[in-house]
Amino acid sequence: VQVREFSTKAKSRKKSQSLRLAFLTALLLCMFAGGWLYLNKDVAYAPETSTSIGGPQSDAAPIKAGALKVFNGEQLRILYDTFAYPNTQPISDEAPITGNESADTHMRSLATAKGYKIRSAPVAMVLRDVGSGYLLQERASDPWLALQSAAAKDGISLSLTAAFRSADEQRDIFLQRLKLAGIVVSEVSSGKYDSQINRVLAMTALPGYSRHHTGYTIDVACPSQPAVIFEKSICFKWLSADNYVQAKERGWIPSYPEGTGPQGPDPEAWEYVWVGRDALTD
For residue 85, CA distances in Å to 129, 217, 219 come to: 19, 11, 18
Nearer to Zn ion, 48 or 265 (CB): 265
Helix/strand number for the chain, H first, E second: 7, 8
| Cβ atoms of 245 and 236 closer than 8 Å | no
Piece in contact with Zn ion (CB under 5 A), picked from 7-15, 19-27, 139-147, 219-227:
219-227
Which part of the chain contacts Zn ion (CB under 5 A), choosing from 16-24, 30-38, 86-94, 266-274?
Answer: 266-274
Closest approach, Cβ 164 to Zn ion, in A, equals 11
HSE-CB for 117 with a 13 A CA cutoff: 12
Q: Would you give the DSSP letter of residue 68?
A: B
Site membership for Zn ion, residue 271 (CB under 5 A): yes
Assess 136 for contact with Zn ion (CB under 5 A).
no
Q: Which one, 59 or 219, has the nearer CB to Zn ion?
A: 219
Is residue 198 within 8 A of residue 110, CB to CB? The reply is yes
Q: In 3D, which of 244, 203, 23 has the Cα closest to residue 114? A: 203
x/- binding map, residues 166-205, to Zn ion, per CB under 5 A?
Answer: ----------------------------------------
Closest to Zn ion by CB, 188 vs 222, is 222
Question: What's the rounded Cα separation, in Å, for the pair 162 and 105?
Answer: 27
Interface mask (CB under 5 A) for Zn ion, residues 92-131, using x and -? Answer: ----------------------------------------
Rounded least distance, CB 269 to Zn ion, Å? 10
Residue 140 binding Zn ion, by CB under 5 A: no
| Residue 219 interacts with Zn ion (CB under 5 A): yes or no | yes
Mark the segment that binds Zn ion (CB under 5 A) among 59-67, 132-140, 197-205, 264-272: 264-272
Encoded amino acid at 132, one letter: S
Please name the helix (run of DSSP H) or strand (run of DSSP E) that holds residue 30, with its range, or none.
helix 2-45
- Stretch of residues binding Zn ion (CB under 5 A), selected from 92-100, 152-160, 243-251, 269-277: 269-277
Q: What is the crossing angle of helices 167-180 and 194-201, to 10°? A: 130
210 binds Zn ion (CB under 5 A): no
Which residue stretches of 129-256 are H helix? 138-153, 167-180, 194-201, 234-249
Could you tell me how many residues of this chain bind Zn ion (CB under 5 A)?
2
> In the complex, which residues of this chain contact Zn ion (CB under 5 A)?
219, 271
